[in-house]
């Protein structure tokens, strides 16, 4: 682990929690590859040590798919995309579950009789059957990030079809 991994976070003025927690524990994907947990982008993601490990786990098969030995920056980028997608999906699913249980009284109501602490119920689908949770997630992204999601989707679909789409 490089000493730069525990350097001060310029945005918060504090030590990068991921870097601090993982100092001496996290593995660098390969010698010479910059430790991605301290990059500006991943600080913005509030990446935990567990998330860091998860991304490395996701990056490995990606590198294998491209028949390259060591994990590279493109594989880590792809893994971060998948991890973000997964995290956002479960965040939406969690909100839906909370909303549902508050209505059906399956879970204990901490707010006392007649009171709900859960957020107001939001429909998960439109009358046309469109998944509104996906729309809410897309709207939480910037236009540039939305285009990146589309680009990655297209590449993933083509890869599933067996077409080569290396960049």
Residues that bind other proteins (CB under 8 A): 126, 128-132, 134-139, 141-144, 146-151, 153-155, 157-158, 163-167
Q: CB of 130: closest distance to other proteins in angstroms?
A: 5
Nearest one of 44, 49, 17 to 142, comparing CA atoms: 44
C-beta closer to other proteins: residue 110 or 166? 166
Q: In angstroms, what is the minimal distance from the CB of 118 to other proteins?
A: 19
Q: Nearer Cβ to other proteins, position 27 or 146?
A: 146
| Residue 38 Cβ vs other proteins, minimum distance, rounded to whole Å | 22
Q: Closer to other proteins at the Cβ: 21 or 141?
A: 141
What minimum distance in Å lies between the beta carbon of 1 and other proteins?
31
Beta carbon nearer to other proteins, 106 or 160: 160
């Amino acid at each position: 682990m490089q000493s730069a991994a525990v350097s001060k976070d310029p945005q918060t003025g504090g030590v990068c929690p991921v870097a601090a927690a993982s100092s001496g524990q996290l593995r660098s994907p390969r010698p010479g590859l910059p430790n991605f947990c301290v990059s500006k982008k991943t600080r913005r993601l509030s990446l935990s040590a567990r998330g860091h490990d998860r991304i490395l786990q996701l990056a490995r098969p990606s590198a294998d798919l491209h028949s390259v030995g060591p994990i590279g920056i493109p594989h880590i980028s792809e893994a971060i995309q998948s991890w973000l997608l997964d995290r956002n999906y479960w965040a939406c699913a969690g909100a839906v579950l909370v909303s549902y249980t508050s209505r059906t009284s399956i879970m204990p109501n901490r707010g006392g009789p007649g009171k709900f602490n859960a957020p107001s119920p939001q429909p998960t689908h439109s009358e046309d059957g469109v998944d509104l949770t996906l729309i809410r997630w897309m709207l939480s992204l910037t236009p540039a990030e939305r285009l990146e999601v589309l680009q990655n989707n297209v590449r993933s679909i083509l890869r599933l079809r067996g077409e080569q789409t290396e960049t």
